[in-house]
Structure 1
Amino acid sequence: MTNATNSEGGAKLRKPSPNSGPTMHDVAALAGVSQATVSLVLNDVSGSRFSQKTKDKVELAVQQLGYRTNAHAKVLREGVSGMVGFVGDVVASAPFAGKIIEGAQERAWESGLLVLTVNTNGDKDLERASLEAMLSYKVAGVVYASMYHQEVDVPAALRGVPSVVLNSEDRERRIPSIIPDEELGGYAATKRLLDAGHRRVAMINIETLESRLPAALGRYAGYSRALVEAGLTVDPAIVRFGDGNPGDGLRYARELMAGANPPTAIFCANDRTAWGAYQALEQLGCRIPDDVAVIGFDNQETLAPYLQPGLTTMDLPFVSMGRRAVEILIEGGEPDGRIEALECALIERSSVTNSGAAA
């Protein structure tokens, strides 16, 4: 690239250093504007008035040169970087919970932010070190995420930093938390079975009520509320508390069907439990949904669509939750302790009849 002088700002176009890459000076020279104009356009400074033609010239020069803004200079100038920190236990490596990151990245990108993600695998030393690194980069805020809905102790390092807890709840009720609406999801799942005509609806939960696991408590509360609204009572004889794995789904579905008055429908509080229930019903010669309807919870996309028949289930709103978490940070991340519960959508497949099932 030869040297040249532009007519508007006097900037001299020079060949970028192979080590440093193109500079704002180079963008100004190629666009034929001043360096100050480039800075104001790229930073979208409020009150700056430029014609669309000028903006287009700057953006084209940026694209042609492959110019990137100096993140360190941004930190010095504004006190924060253009990044949001995302710290999770095993969220990034979970096949279905990865949608949380997808939603967070999507919303961050819309506001010109990048997401710096660390997957700690529950290692508290790694978590501590990663948070220190993120805060040293002056991230605009931190999303503290968990693989499953539980109460968490938020690290002290996040005090005074715009933060939000995702897919869990801050035990101290200090930092905003974004969770799935477990009770409404349990209610919708059970009501779907009731609307199909079932009156003997069993439940296999993913934990005991004594565990205080929010997902187990909420889904059971929704199940109970739907039954009561339908004029029914919760029958302990057709409620089981497993561990959320296929083995307990298999075991407890067999137990339920062996009772004197077996259910005609089973609400499994996650899809892995439903998978086990499918196996039990197949072994017993029961057809789904003709003999027994089954509904799950999670919409685990590596599992639910591939069961035979496809599993009707509740979808955890991971993308929406990730988006909302970043939105709260963009709004300022005030430490108000609010808990926002997002609705789980019913995903219809083929494990529940449309209507008129025999009681």
Structure 2
Amino acid sequence: MTDVAKAAGVSQSTVSMIINNVSGARLARATRARVLAKAVELGYPLVARDVAPRATVQSRKVIGYLVDEISTSPHPVVSMDGARDAAWQHGCTIQLAVTRGNPEQEAAAIEAMQANPGLLGWVYSTIFTRPVRLPEALLSRPTVLLNCHDNSRKLPTVLPGELAGGHTATEHLIAMNHTRIGFINGEPWMEAAQDRFKGYKRALASADLPFDPALVRDGDWMSGTGFDCTISLMQEARPPTAIFCANDLMALGAMEAIKQLGLNVPQDVSVMGYDDQEISRHTHPPLTTMLLPNYAMGFAAVEALIELADAGTAARSPRRILIKADCPLVTRDSVQKR
């Protein structure tokens, strides 16, 4: 589904709505036709997805899906889409609880879900990548961690390949002959920011380009800091010819700052984003970015859970299965060769 979204130039959520024929989705016929054509071209099993699994309501298992937040960012919603679709393919449904990080709400949700005799296991998810302390009550059934990790390192864990994503983004700018590459990071205490920054530095080192701290700014994921940090970067004695922003919102601010300085994107300064949010398709020019594979991560988490449950309790060994989901490059028009 990630591949179809990239090929058709739409979001993963749009692909999900079209493939699953969601009622009430007001999407243009041209968009539907383009997505379905790309799906067929890429070998996506449309017919299989149109047929519900041969499970009765009585026999269908339930997967408990716990997440700390879902309304303040589009990312956890798309992960939920992936988990739901994977569950349905395996004859299961998802039961969701949003806990807002409240231990009492989390405990109440777990207790309510455990009362369901059809409960197969748990997907435990967080809105941003971080370590978690898993409730003991979850360990009696198969459990998979999504976008988080625990100190025991004993549970299957699905994480985005952020370091590789930061490397790929920077490598693309280097391939476009940029050697002065600015980097506007998110909040540096967050793991996503740390790994994207590591990827940036490793790509520079791989290309024998020196790391220059003067080309790095810490932001807060919002467009305002993208704007301010870009103004600051362009005031350097040797300003960058390309700016890699650690998310799309900061990239929007960067593009606006470049325009206010009387410069053009990408003719004067190339801009790279990260996340592939819906708005990145509609900027002027459209934003080159990295796709954060939320849908694929949710899908992979449920697939791992089903495997664990099918293998039985003997499979719950102390060896962790770590799944790093690739963050593909989405090339548009905001990056140009020098």
Measured against the shorter chain, the TM-score band is 0.7 to 0.9
Runs of 4+ in structure 1 displaced over 6 angstroms?
none
Q: Does 1:199 align with 2:182?
A: no
Quick check: 1:143–1:166 contact (8 Å CA) kept in 2? Answer: yes
The aligned counterpart of 2:249 is 272
Quick check: 1:92–1:101 contact (8 Å CA) kept in 2? Answer: no
One-letter amino acid matched to 2:109: S
Work out the CA distance in 1 between the residues paired with 2:307 and 2:327: 24
The aligned counterpart of 1:13 is none
Summarize the alignment of residues 77-92 of structure 1 with structure 2, pairs less than 5 Å apart. Answer: 82-91=61-70
Q: Does 1:318 align with 2:303?
A: no
The aligned counterpart of 1:176 is 156
One-letter amino acid matched to 2:108: A
Q: Does 1:156 align with 2:136?
A: yes
The aligned counterpart of 1:345 is 328
Q: Does 1:218 align with 2:218?
A: no
Quick check: 1:170–1:176 contact (8 Å CA) kept in 2? Answer: no
Work out the CA distance in 1 between the residues paired with 2:287 and 2:131: 29
Q: Does 1:243 align with 2:226?
A: no
Quick check: 2:67–2:125 contact (8 Å CA) kept in 1? Answer: yes
Work out the CA distance in 2 between the residues paired with 1:278 and 1:311: 9
Work out the CA distance in 2 between the residues paired with 1:174 and 1:135: 22
Q: Return the TM-score normalized by structure 2.
A: 0.78
One-letter amino acid matched to 1:320: A
Summarize the alignment of residues 348-359 of structure 1 with structure 2, pairs less than 5 Å apart. Answer: 348-353=331-336, 355=337, 357=338
One-letter amino acid matched to 2:208: G
Work out the CA distance in 2 between the residues paired with 1:338 and 1:331: 11
Quick check: 1:169–1:339 contact (8 Å CA) kept in 2? Answer: no
Instruction: Among all aligned residue pairs of Structure 1 and Structure 2, give the percentage whose two residues are the same amino acid.
Output: 39
Change (3 A) 1:259 1:69: closer
CA apart distance, 1:339: 2.3
Any unmatched runs of 5+ in structure 1? Answer: 1-62, 75-80
One-letter amino acid matched to 1:274: A
One-letter amino acid matched to 1:263: P
Query: Of 286, 296, 299, which residue of structure 1 is paired with 2:263?
Result: 286
The aligned counterpart of 1:122 is 101
Write the deviation string for residues 161-197 of structure 1: whole angstroms up to 9, x where unpaired: 2111111222332322101100100000001111111
Query: Of 78, 87, 90, which residue of structure 2 is paired with 1:111?
Result: 90
Q: Report SS of the residue matched to 1:97.
A: helix
Write the deviation string for residues 26-53 of structure 1: whole angstroms up to 9, x where unpaired: xxxxxxxxxxxxxxxxxxxxxxxxxxxx
Change (3 A) 1:243 1:103: same
One-letter amino acid matched to 1:125: E
Work out the CA distance in 2 between the residues paired with 1:94 and 1:207: 16
Quick check: 1:91–1:145 contact (8 Å CA) kept in 2? Answer: no
CA apart distance, 1:286: 1.5
Change (3 A) 1:97 1:307: farther
Quick check: 2:75–2:127 contact (8 Å CA) kept in 1? Answer: no
How many residues end up aligned between the 2 structures?
277
Q: Return the TM-score normalized by structure 1.
A: 0.73
CA apart distance, 1:93: 6.1
CA apart distance, 1:154: 1.6
Query: Of 251, 254, 257, which residue of structure 1 is paired with 2:234?
Result: 257
Q: Report SS of the residue matched to 1:288.
A: coil
Quick one: higher RCO (CA 8 Å, sep 6+), 1 or 2?
2
Work out the CA distance in 2 between the residues paired with 1:93 and 1:101: 14
Work out the CA distance in 2 between the residues paired with 1:123 and 1:277: 36
Work out the CA distance in 1 between the residues paired with 2:222 and 2:71: 21
Q: Report SS of the residue matched to 1:150.
A: strand
Change (3 A) 1:92 1:172: farther
Write the deviation string for residues 252-307 of structure 1: whole angstroms up to 9, x where unpaired: 11100011000000010111111111221121111100100010111111x21122
Change (3 A) 1:158 1:224: same
Work out the CA distance in 2 between the residues paired with 1:338 and 1:329: 11
The aligned counterpart of 1:143 is 123
Q: Report SS of the residue matched to 1:142.
A: strand
CA apart distance, 1:124: 2.5
CA apart distance, 1:92: 6.0
Change (3 A) 1:187 1:257: same
Change (3 A) 1:69 1:198: closer
Q: Report SS of the residue matched to 1:228.
A: helix
The aligned counterpart of 1:97 is 76
Work out the CA distance in 2 between the residues paired with 1:92 and 1:283: 33
Q: Does 1:327 align with 2:303?
A: yes
